[in-house]
Structure 1
Amino acid sequence: MSLAASPIRFPDLASRTVMTRRAWWLVVLNFLIPGSSQVLAGDRKLGRFGLGATITLWLIAIAALVVWFLWPAVLYTVFSTTITLWVVALVLAFYAVLWVILTLDTLRLVRLVKTAPSARAWLAGFTTLVMIGLSGTAAYGAYVATTASGFLSSVFVAGPTEPPIDGKYNFLLLGGDAGPDRDGLRPDSITVVSVDAETGQAVTIGLPRNMEDVPFNEDSPLAAVYPEGYGSIDGCEVDVCMLNSIYTEVELMSPEMYPNAVNEGSEPGIEAMRDAAEAITGLQIQYYVLIDMQGFLELIDALGGVTVTVPEDVPIHADETFTTVAEWIPAGEQHLDGYHALWYARSRHGTSDYDRMARQRQIQEAVLEQFNPANVLSKFQEIAAAGSQVVKTDIPQSMLGYFVDLASKTKALPITDVELVPDNGIDPEDPDYDYARQLVQQAVFPPTEEPAEG
C-alpha cells in the first residue's frame, strides 16, 4: 500500500472506526517512538527532528548501559562532575520540552471529534499520562542533576588527587558532636577506614575519644609542643588532654599551626586529628570525612528512618548532664527516626564509651545499607539538603566516581573491625601505641598480603 493511500495520513474522516483505530496507533507510537506520529501523519520535518532526537537518546542509553556493565567507574566519574551534571540537566530539559510539543501535536493529529465518543476520554487521558510520564520524568531528571551539581560543589573540593599508599586508601572519619553548651565542635566518634584500592576490602579502626598521651609523628607541628605525647608533661591548653580534645585546642587556640588547612578544604583542628590518627595507627591518611552528628539526624529523617537491632534498652536523656532519663529505646529490632537514632548513638547513661562506639558504628552501617539508588532518588531533595549540612571532606570531586565504584565493591565484602579498646589489650589511659600499631598492621596487611608499592 502506498503512503498516499495510508489510512494513517489520509484516513476516512467519515468512519469513526477508522479514526478511532488511527488515533490509538498515533498515541501509542508517540509513547513508544516519539516523533514517529508526525512522520506518519503530520509535519514530517518536526517528525524527523523528534525521531532523530529519540534515536539519539536510545543510543546514549545503550552506550551508558554497556559502560555500566563493563566500566562502571567511568559512568560514576562522568556523572559526578559539575559540568557533566549541568549538561545532563540541559539535555533532559530539552527532551522534556520536546516531548510536550510532540505529545500535544499528536493529540491534534488524532482529531478527537472524529473518533468514537466512548474512546475520546480514554485517548485524551492516555495522551495526557504519556506527556506527564515522559516530560515529567525528564524534567525531574533535570532537577535532580542540577541539585546534585550544587550538592557536590558544596561538599567536595576541587583539589588534587592522592595515589594509594601501599595499595590502600586511608580515610579519617570523624563524627562531630557540636552543641550550644560547647565551644565549637568536638569529635565524638573517631574512625580510620583503610580500603584496598583494587578489591575494596575495608578495615575500620575505632579510636576511643578518651585516649591519652597521644603521640605525633616528627613532621607534625604538634610534635614540638608535645614531644612525649599530648598533655603528658605539663598538660594541655584545654580542660582534658584526650584524643578528641586535640581538635578543640588547635581549632580554637592554635590554628596557625596549620596555615594551609582552610585553602586545602580542611580545618586546623581536622589536620591535627589527622596527625594524631596517623601516629596512633601507623597509617598515612589521604582524606578525611567529617560528619556532623546533629545534621546526621536530618539525614536519617530524609531517608525515612533507619532500622537497627537494639541489644538492650538504651536511655534518652532529659538533661545535658546525661543523668535523668526521659524515655527508653527498647531492646529488639527498632525503626528509629533521626532523633531516636542520634540518641541511640550518643547515649551515655549507664554505658561506657566503648558501648557508644559500637552503637555509632551500627548506626553508620545501617545508614550506608539504606543508601540505594531507589531510596536516594525518591527522596533526593531532602537528602541533598541534609547532606550538604552533614558532610565536610577534602575528597576531590574528580575522585568521587572512583570511590563510589570502590564502595560498591566494599559493600559486597565483609568488613574487618579493629577497636583499640581494653577488650583488645589497649588501655586508653595508658595506651601501648606500639601494640596498637601492630594490631592495625595485622588487620590492614594480613600475613597473606604484603604491602604494595606506593
Structure 2
Amino acid sequence: MTLAASPIRYPDAASRTVMTRRAWWLVVLNFLVPGSAQVLAGDRRLGRFGLGATLTLWTLAVVSLVVWLLWPAVFYTVMSTSLTLWIVAAVALFYAVLWVVLTLDTLRLVRLVKTAPSARAWVALLSVAAMVLVSGTAAYGAFIATTTSGFLSSVFVAGPSEPPVDGRYNILLLGGDAGPDRDGLRPDSIRVMSIDAETGQAVTIGLPRNMEDVPFNEDSPLHDLYPEGYGAIDGCEVDACMLNSIYTEVELKSPEMYPDADANGSEPGIEAMRDAAEAITGLEIQYYALIDMAGFQQLIDALGGVTITVPEDVPIHADETFTTVAEWIPAGEQHLDGYHALWYARSRHGTSDYDRMARQLQLQEAVLAQFNPANVLSKFQDIAAAGAQVVKTDVPQSMLGYFVDLASKTKELPVVDVELVPENGFDPEDPDYDYARQLVQEAVTPPTAEPAE
C-alpha cells in the first residue's frame, strides 16, 4: 500500500522507466514550486521551509502587483527608498541561495544512476539550467537593488517634499557646459518644466542663454544689486551680462549671497539661476536638475546611442573655437553615439542659439523616449554609473516615487513647448518680460472652453 500510494517517495528503484519519470517530475516540481520536491520525496522539514518561503514570495509578489496597479505612486515611493531596496536585495539573495540548495538536493533525490542512461544528461542539464535561471535572476535582482540604492543616494537629497504651487510642479533644467576655455561652468541649456500635479500635463519653457537685462524678484539677493535687471545699469562682474552668466558670476564672485545653498543640496550659482528663471517666467520653482553635458555623452553611450531625425547637416568642430569643421552629422535619420549626440546639441558653426535650443530639446525628448524598462534593465549598471555623474538635483528621494508615477502620465500626453525666441515675438536682446510671463501663463493655465448654449 505504501509503495502504491507514494511512488515518488517510495519508487520502484529497479525500474528505470519509473525512476526516469520520477526524475522529470521532481525537476519540474522544483522549478515550478520550490520546496515541493522535498515535501514529496525528501527531507520534509527542508521541503516545508522551502515551500513556505515560496508561498511567501508569491504572496509578496501578488500584493506588490495589486499595489502597483491600484496605487502606483505608493508602490514607486516605497520602492525608491534606500531601506526598502536593501531589504529587497537581502530577500533576493536569500532566495538565490535557497533555490541553489533546493536544486542540488533535488538532484540528490533524483538518483541519476537509477534513471535511463539517455535521460541522465538531460535531467542534470535541465536542473542546472533552471537553477541558473531562477537563482541567477534573484542574484541579479539583488545587484540591481543595491546599485539603485547607491545611485539614488548619490543623486537625490534627503529632505522634505514640497507641495505643488497652483497645482503644478515647476523644475528648472540646466545643461552645464564647462569647457576648457571657460572660467567655471556656464549653463548652455536653460529650460523650465512645469507639470500639472494631477494630470501630468507638461509645459516646457525654453530660456535662451543670451537673454539680457534679466529681472529678479524683490526677495532675491540679486535684486538689490541689479534692481533694473542683470547688468542693465553699470554692467556685471563677468564679461557678458547674459542669463547664463548669472551662474558664473554668483558661483565665482559672490557665493555668500546664498549661504544655505550647499546645505540644501544646491549651489549658489544654481540658486541665482532659479531666482532669474522665476522672475522671467512668473512661476515659483520648487526643484532644479543640473545635467553635465560632458556626462550626458556617457549616459547616451550607456543607453547604446540615440536615434533622431537630423533636419539638416550639422557640423562637428575641430576645437573649442567653434570655427573649424572636422566632420558633419548628415541630415536624415541617424543613430548617434554620445560624442556625436553631444556635438549635435552644442554645435555653433553656421547656426543660431535658437537652432541649438531646438536641437537640445529634440535630443532630450529622444533620450527620454529610450528610457524604457527593457533598455534600462539591460544596461542598468552603465546607466546608473553615468547618471550619478550626469545629474545633480535637489529633488528629495521621498518625492521620487511620486515623480516617477507622474512621469508615466506625462509620457501619455503631448508636451506644450513655449520657446522665448524671436519667432514667438520675444527678443532676448530687447526683452519684454511681461510678454514672456504672459506666454507662460497662457500655456500653463489655458483658457477653459465656454459651455455650449
- Indicate whether the TM-score tops 0.5: yes
Supply the AA of the counterpart residue of 2:331.
A
Match in the other structure for 1:243: 243
Q: Distance in 2 between matches of 1:217 and 1:153?
A: 33
User: Matched residues in 1 for 2:13 and 2:294: separation?
Assistant: 67
TM-superposed deviation, 1:107: 0.5
- What's 2:68 paired with? 68
Matched residue, 1:53: 53
1:14-413 equivalences under 5 Å are 14-413=14-413
Amino acid at match of 1:28: V
Gaps (5+ residues) in structure 1? 450-454
**3-state DSSP class of the match of 2:315?**
strand
Once the 2 structures are TM-superposed, how far is the Cα of residue 151 of structure 1 from its aligned partner? 0.2
2:199·2:409 contact (CA, 8 Å) conserved in 1?
A: yes
Secondary structure in structure 2 of the residue aligned to 1:289: strand
Deviation at 1:92, TM superposition (A): 0.3
Q: Which amino acid aligns with 2:74?
A: V
Q: What's 1:452 paired with?
A: none
1:64-87: CA deviation from partner (whole Å, max 9, x where unpaired): 111111111111111100000000
Letter aligned with residue 95 of structure 1: Y
In the alignment, the residues of structure 2 paired with residue 142 and residue 184 of structure 1 have an alpha-carbon distance, to the nearest angstrom, of 39
Deviations 1:6-65 (A, max 9, x none): 110011111110000000000000000000000000000000000000000001111111
Distance 1:448 1:2 in 2: 79
Q: How many residues align?
A: 449
Cα offset, 1:417, TM superposition:
0.2
SS in structure 2 opposite 1:55? helix
Amino acid of the residue matched to residue 285 of structure 2? Answer: I
Aligned-residue Cα RMSD (Å) equals 0.9
C-alpha deviation, 1:182, in angstroms: 1.7
1:175 Cα shift? 0.5
* CA distance in structure 1 between the aligned counterparts of 2:13 and 2:143, rounded to whole angstroms: 43
- SS of 2:96's equivalent in the other structure is helix
Residues 188 and 209, structure 2, Cα contact 8 Å, conserved in 1 = yes
5+ residue gaps in structure 2?
none
- State the 1:179 CA deviation: 2.0
**CA offsets per residue over residues 196-228 of structure 1, 9 Å max, x none?**
000000000000000000000000000000010
- Structure 1 pair 3–160 and aligned structure 2 pair: CA distance change class (3 A): farther
Which residue type is aligned with residue 429 of structure 2?
E
Report the Cα distance in structure 2 between the residues aligned to 1:348 and 1:104, rounded to whole angstroms. Answer: 63
Q: Work out the CA distance in 1 between the residues paired with 2:3 and 2:155.
A: 58
Q: What percent identity do the matched residue pairs reach?
A: 84
Change (3 A) 1:423 1:152: same
Matched letter for residue 419 of structure 1: E
Cα contact 2:345–2:360 (8 A) shared by 1 = yes
In terms of mean alpha carbon deviation, does 319-328 or 26-35 score higher? 319-328
Task: Find runs of 4+ consecutive structure 1 residues off by over 2 angstroms.
Answer: 1-5
Partner SS for 1:205: strand
Counterpart for residue 13 of structure 1 = 13
TM-superposed deviation, 1:267:
0.2
SS in 2 for 1:212: coil
Shift of residue 2 of structure 1? 5.4
- Asked whether the equivalents of residues 3 and 11 of structure 2 are also in contact (C-alpha less than 8 Å), the reply is no
The amino acid that maps onto 1:165 is V
